[in-house]
Amino acid sequence: MPPIRDSRERWGLVSILIHWLTVLAILFMGGLGLYMTSLPIGAEKVQLYALHKSLGISLLALVLFRLLWRLLNPRPALPPMPRWQRIAAHASHGLLYLLLIAIPLSGWVMNSAANFPLVWFGLIELPAIAAPDPGLRALAGEVHEALYWLLLLIALVHASAALKHHLHDRDHVLRNMLGLGPARPRP
């Protein structure tokens, strides 16, 4: 079992759980988004939109918490790799965080511009962050969807890089995020 907090040697349990919870949320939210938009207007569609919005706000809060957690904890050292890979790793992580913030915000703008209330799980009504505007609503909807597909693409590259580190480089990158400890020795 990994420690709760991160260290220079490995990710802690909090970071690992947030990482995998975010992965599951991204996949679920995308599937839910595709399904709910295909439904005819009705009670089920309204309920699924409310769920999608509440989960989106929750994911935004989780990502903001994760960023705060990263500021307060050391990051595990990357294994030796070429400079371009190190730059690509930092850039892809930064882009993933940016997208994980921009996607729910674009959804919030879309919701506000459509003049719908945003009530988190039926408990807390969040303020509108844009005035009602059909043009802005349409633009925010297109941005929301495009950013999601870009997120999936960057996440696929991210996962491919982790597999490359595990299968080819045989280093600790993937094992660390799985909570399995140090790298396997090279044969």
186 within 8 A of 170, measured Cβ to Cβ: yes
Structure tokens at 121: 């799980």
Provide CATH code, domain 13-177: 1.20.950
Average confidence (pLDDT) over 68-88: 91
- pLDDT tens for residues 144-187? 999 999 999 999 999 998 888 888 878 887 777 888 865 454 44
What confidence tier does 101 reach under pLDDT thresholds 50, 70, 90?
very high
Residue 49 has pLDDT above 60, yes or no: yes
pLDDT of residue 111: 98
pLDDT of residue 185: 46
pTM for the whole thing?
A: 0.90
17 within 8 A of 1, measured Cβ to Cβ: no
Distance CA 172, CA 111 (A): 42
pLDDT of residue 167: 84
Residue 52's H or E segment, with its range, is helix 43-72
Distance CA 157, CA 160 (A): 5
Distance CA 32, CA 105 (A): 18
pLDDT of residue 178: 82
181 within 8 A of 10, measured Cβ to Cβ: yes
pLDDT of residue 182: 58
Residue 86 has pLDDT above 70, yes or no: yes
Q: Return the DSSP state at 4.
A: S
Residue 119's H or E segment, with its range, is strand 118-120
Q: Which sequence spans correspond to the domains of the chain?
A: 13-177
pLDDT of residue 166: 83
Query: What percent of the chain shows pLDDT beyond 70?
Result: 96
Average confidence (pLDDT) over 5-24: 93
pLDDT of residue 183: 46
Distance CA 28, CA 34 (A): 10
Distance CA 129, CA 113 (A): 8
